[in-house]
Structure 1
């Protein structure tokens, strides 16, 4: 029995129902159909899922979607609208008519629609069936994410090239006669990504003091002899899958504190990767790295190592599973990051991040990029 059918049976319901656009990762995963307008998906036990869309979209949906396609007319919406003028109530009545008297919905189901549905059928809330399905990637998904990671690395190389080939004037990096800024480095990476049908938002290119704040995106001229943290996590527009990587570089001479932190960081990343395999709890891997940093003199509270060791990646940049205090046993097919970091106000921060798939015996690392601190 497939996971959705199992969830329907477990909750004693007639069908699993979603109402969302394909910006909802669960909807995109279940249907492989992309549209900015919300539409209905329903699946009954042992049956193929079905989407209900406008007549205008049926031709494209029939080509693209893995679900069966039903028009709103076929679902009875025009007849319902003759007596029910409220569009929300009409949609609810249509759903109840095709899905059944007892339905199961995901946690992110629209509250207003769920409330109205209660007049036509009983509504139960699922606990994350599709999220668990998404956490275990297929071979095709892994191949897609490896491709996106290669594009990500080529964009990262553009950033490192700018920093490596910059000159230094009064402590500020310059490129082709102008100050090299965080904004320009992001611009160059983003343009490269767009050329390869990918895009990115919230990219981090932080420098100096800003690197002590893990998710400070960075702004202004980059400085010599200071850590520069570059965290890039683009999405491929066609498939919706993300990749993720972080590197820390310095143009010039980093302080001894930064060198020592980076040496410990690199070993922590290798330690974390070496412990990854199916069946091992993410919390155990995290704790080993916490203990390692502690042995090196780096605490894990309000400074030092202050975040999870890693996270799942897929149709969201952060999804199940987690490699942190709440991490459960990893499963074959999980795609995760390993990304230790150390952050100290007054000194700066360093972070490294690789991505790969969990296997029965270890970690199929997608990342193939230099870890050199000084460029």
Structure 2
């Protein structure tokens, strides 16, 4: 995937530094995005100010330094990861720690200082004397580099996430769409379990056992694995549990109670997330349960309709709040201390992180084509339960496109 690092390079030029350095493992989304590589142990990615920079330490056997499509991006990896990095990463150059006498440096100075001296030598090979680093950059590495004469300053705006990663390419949009399709298949499994369960003494029963949050979660995870996705945790929360937006839920699912199911899987190969929520009720909803669902659905539809390029995330959030407040429920906008009603933001960016920029919130900035955001209003009260409906959309030049095809309804269908 080609990426446009020009906003970062403009910031580097304005700051009069030679490059941008990331020191993290592949679980750091900025690292994965910029390096086009992932590894379980920390490695270093250098973005030079000039995109055509070529210098020593290249993995190119002909010595040209150019091996891929990310000009001015250079990696420093362990010998263990070198072969895989050469095969997978489309960057200008890949160097091994051994190219900079890593073992000798560690033997003489110890693991921490030896590693820092190796990184400093790597930077020197690219004529880099000053670097900007992300806010999450390790303090020990920063201080150690300064001791080696490298100027280190923090790039506090988070440009990689807020200005570069936030605008998704067509390839990224396709990956998110694929994850969301797997997500919908998992939701269908959960819905069918609830719809086809028997009801005994007010409890849902499946295969002669109570149908629990844990059982539904397990079946969701199995279906996601079949589709190349995984998740650390999901939400299947019934009754009062569903009134806490991040309660994972536990125990038997009950008839005549609201059941919030929020699934946010990640594709195991590409790393891109999906996110969707549906609320079901098996049995007969009370008048208040039905009303809360209907109001939430109207807020969700109104917020979706408001999503387009040039509109702020704050404005979209206000649309959802308007609907919910007009129906007589509190929001954090109307009462910042409320513990019931609408008690969270309307949405967030989704990509290599499940929560990233931009936001659909009181502080949300202007939405741009390529932004992928969730729309997920809800109403919560332990005495009634929780309701939340969530879709994932990409902002387009003329509005938005919804990744979801899954229906919105309260009663589960087999």
TM range (shorter): over 0.9
Q: Distance in 1 between matches of 2:324 and 2:80?
A: 58
The runs of at least 4 aligned residues of structure 1 exceeding 6 Å deviation read: none
Q: Distance in 2 between matches of 1:90 and 1:11?
A: 29
Match of 2:323 in 1: 292
Report how far residue 12 of structure 1 moved.
Answer: 1.1
State yes or no: 1:15 paired with 2:33: no
Aligned counterpart for 1:107 among listed residues 135, 139, 144:
135
Q: Distance in 2 between matches of 1:182 and 1:153?
A: 18
Aligned counterpart for 1:45 among listed residues 49, 58, 64:
49
SS at match of 1:10: helix
Q: Normalising by structure 2, report the TM-score.
A: 0.88
Report how far residue 172 of structure 1 moved.
Answer: 0.2
Report how far residue 79 of structure 1 moved.
Answer: 5.1
Match of 1:92 in 2: 116
Q: Deviation string for 1:131-150 (max 9, x for gaps)?
A: 12111100000001101100
Match of 2:217 in 1: 186
Contact 2:23–2:137 under 8 Å retained in 1? yes
Aligned counterpart for 1:116 among listed residues 140, 144, 150:
144
Contact 1:2–1:46 under 8 Å retained in 2? no
SS at match of 2:411: coil
State yes or no: 1:276 paired with 2:307: yes
Contact 2:76–2:122 under 8 Å retained in 1? no
Contact 2:106–2:113 under 8 Å retained in 1? no
Match of 2:399 in 1: 362
Contact 1:342–1:350 under 8 Å retained in 2? yes
Match of 2:179 in 1: 148
Report how far residue 178 of structure 1 moved.
Answer: 1.0
Report how far residue 93 of structure 1 moved.
Answer: 2.2
State yes or no: 1:73 paired with 2:68: no
Number of equivalences: 374
- Coordinate RMSD, CA, aligned: 1.3
Match of 2:60 in 1: none
Match of 2:158 in 1: 128
Q: Distance in 2 between matches of 1:305 and 1:226?
A: 19
Contact 1:208–1:228 under 8 Å retained in 2? yes
Report how far residue 157 of structure 1 moved.
Answer: 0.2
Q: Distance in 2 between matches of 1:182 and 1:292?
A: 31
Q: Distance in 2 between matches of 1:95 and 1:4?
A: 21
Gaps of 5+ in 2: 52-71, 333-337
Aligned counterpart for 2:202 among listed residues 167, 171, 184:
171
Query: Which has the higher mean CA deviation after the structures are superposed, 305-314 or 42-51?
Result: 42-51
SS at match of 1:73: helix
Instruction: Describe how 1:191-230 pairs up with structure 2 within 5 A.
Output: 191-230=222-261
Q: Deviation string for 1:257-276 (max 9, x for gaps)?
A: 11001111111111001111
Q: Distance in 2 between matches of 1:281 and 1:162?
A: 39
